[in-house]
Structure 1
């Protein structure tokens, strides 16, 4: 659907009569009247067939972000006990699944259509099937938030605070809006085309990530080697990388923070970012005088998570928690070492130098970090590698933002293409 056709849609809403009309409607349907509200049970029935004979071993899950997926692909391992699947529901392709587990992205639990194939799902889920197999209209509707009001009103949190509890009959009474088949088809086609566009941009994002990982593997020496497979032309005759203790490259900055500096935190994926940009409490930090100052270009790492690669380069002068170690570069490129320290082979060495009885208690103190032997080329080669990889990171950021804008655009359209039921039945 082109942007020209999108702008030709006009909103129509009768606030005084609280009529069931969406805010946005395609021009050809503006005169066909209001939508209707029907209970879900009018169009669908629960599917409660159990995997009694254990013939199905493919376990599916319904995630808030990705919908129905193969459990092994999602968790990278089997979560369910493969020998005890007889009590699981059989889910056919085209069935819908409600997962009562709530999250930030699914505050009442997600409802998703199974486009994967036949499998089994936990009996904690609600599985239902439409009489009409051409039901993608509802797949889009359940990605809106318009049905959340009914779920909150009709259910409660279960024994676990992260799950909704709703009776089966009450769930099947969930009111859903319907309109003429032609209008449903138009909305479905429009939103499906947006999904295809988003999927294409996600593929581009994934391709960039794969490209970056491939470059990293080739621009740094593999375990047991001292020369990378791929080298920029001007450094191909430079010889092997030198093996030097990390303490020669970085000093331990212990300067105290001050209230004029912004507060930053280390993230696993984005490095050092402003604390205010994260969904965390800020008042759990120490007073400014107890925090650590970080200067632009320093590397800060969380000593309790360094074995997982929790580090970042400071983009400006800032301060961090006293639980962090701040590394002051000594004539080296910090961005090169940011990539070097996150390599799997480097993390293995960092883990070996960390102290703690269990994995979740490991800490990498500066004195131990300083003893770690690191492979390093000349400064010009460091800078060349760092520039290459940071330029790809910038492309990844731009592409990621593009994907998020498209997703937000789609959500905004869905909220307006479907009428708001609780406004009419409040």
Structure 2
């Protein structure tokens, strides 16, 4: 491919002022940018690391300290708007992650796993390039050059020449830079909305956490610091074990050698199915009625608590009858206890329950230990009041989180339309 090869590239979505600006073109990255090999030496820089999908972050922010050590002087220097390509595979970016440095101070990244480059001149907006790389344009190009399993010092074996040969789709003509800036500005505005909504969700979650600390008594106490007015004179909360809250059932797994047990309509819950959401909506594994018959059925609205392994303390609730594997203990509340309250009460003490496991190779809180764990609870009416209030707050958080997901999906679709298709972009 020539450094500037005419193609029939046209994005599906174009801003009105550029509708008649002509077709797009492709240029090799090497004609737009050059590899930067300058090392830190004695300069004062901010040592950086990279987080896939997020970008460059300071080592202090990511690790809580600077980990550069004696190798710092050999780090590669980054100026504002420089790019750093991390040649480590991640799940989201298996061909490595490429990000623009958006800071205003000199920065640096390890020379062992990074390739850095800088845009030449002022005909290309670095922000425009950054959005292409966030869409993994580089990954779809580089995968053809990566041999399976080919690694050097833990990083992907990528030649700089292959990286610089990456075809970059660009608007053509005198309005090229203006159109690039318009695209970058539009996507940046969406990013600002996403960041604002993400902060709102985080604030709500922090508010809920602080509120729960006041709605439930401290350890060793029998009254919460914050109580709904109608229960101010209701007396102290009473001690109960988890086993006294309801029936505790440890899950079990049907024989995995019998295919007729799997692939039906019954949910089979494992720890990986439990996320931040309160309710289990779907599971990676399902059971047939025959397979479900081989388990210990868990009644609807039980509380599922992971009691074995590295994820002890994960908690959820099932809307309908289900089965679980043996890493999960389920509590089915009795008539004296409200299932919503039990869910929030166990969420509040999940860390304390996990601590019972100690530091074993495979941490475990068995059914006996789990059932005997003690907490204090109020009478049923106050349980319901607390649970319904927290449930309402969860609905608000869920609604805002769903809006955030929708906005992120919108951005992804917008990028797919503002740039020509990757297949056209990679024609050589």
Which residue, out of 161, 167, 180, partners 1:169? 161
- Residue 403 of structure 1 and its aligned partner are, at CA, apart by 1.0
Q: Does 1:374 align with 2:389?
A: no
Match of 1:4 in 2: none
5+ residue gaps, structure 2, are 1-5, 255-260
Aligned alpha-carbon RMSD (Å):
2.9
Q: CA distance change for structure 1 residues 103 and 188 in 2, over 3 Å: closer, same or farther? A: same
Matched, 1:401 2:402: yes
* Match in the other structure for 2:143: 152
Please name the residue that 2:11 is paired with.
Answer: 22
Is 1:264–1:274's contact at 8 Å kept on the other side of the alignment? no
Kindly tell me: are residues 348 and 20 of structure 1, through their superposed partners in 2, closer, same or farther at Cα, counting changes over 3 Å? closer
1:233 is displaced (CA, Å) by: 0.7
Which residue, out of 55, 59, 79, partners 1:67?
A: 55
Where 1:126 maps in the other structure, the secondary structure is strand
- 1:340 corresponds, among 342, 345, 351, to 345
Aligned to 1:136: 127
Separation in 2, partners of 1:268, 1:181 = 44
Which residue of 34, 43, 57 maps to 2:32? 43
Residues 83-102 of structure 1: matches in 2 within 5 Å?
Answer: 83-102=70-89
Residue 243 to residue 392, structure 1, CA distance change in 2 (3 Å):
same
CA contact (8 A) 2:84 2:99 kept: yes
How many residues align? The count is 399
Of 337, 343, 350, which residue of structure 1 is paired with 2:353?
A: 350
Establish whether residue 326 from structure 1 lines up as the match of residue 334 from structure 2: no
Match of 1:294 in 2: 298
| Cα distance in 2, alignment partners of residues 198 and 41 from structure 1 | 32
- In the superposition, the TM-score normalised over structure 2's length comes to 0.83
Task: For 1:313 and 1:119, locate their aligned partners in 2 and report how far apart those are by CA, in whole Å.
Answer: 46
CA contact (8 A) 1:335 1:386 kept: yes
**Unmatched segments (≥5 aa) in structure 1:** 1-16
TM-score, normalised via structure 1 length: 0.84
Asked if 1:201 corresponds to 2:190, the answer is no
- C-alpha change, 1:312 and 1:255, in structure 2 (3 Å) is closer
How far apart are the structure 2 equivalents of 1:323 and 1:255? 7
Q: 1:306 to 1:172 in 2, by over 3 A?
A: closer
Rounded to whole Å, the distance in 1 between the matches of 2:357 and 2:190 is: 47
Shift of the alpha carbon at 1:132? Answer: 4.6
* CA shift in 2, pair 1:397/1:357, >3 Å: same
Q: 2:223 aligns with which of 224, 227, 231?
A: 227
Task: For residue 86 of structure 1, report the CA deviation from its aligned partner.
Answer: 2.8
Task: Decide whether the 8 Å contact of 1:264 with 1:272 is kept in 2.
Answer: no
CA distance in 1 between partners of 2:270 and 2:393 (Å): 23
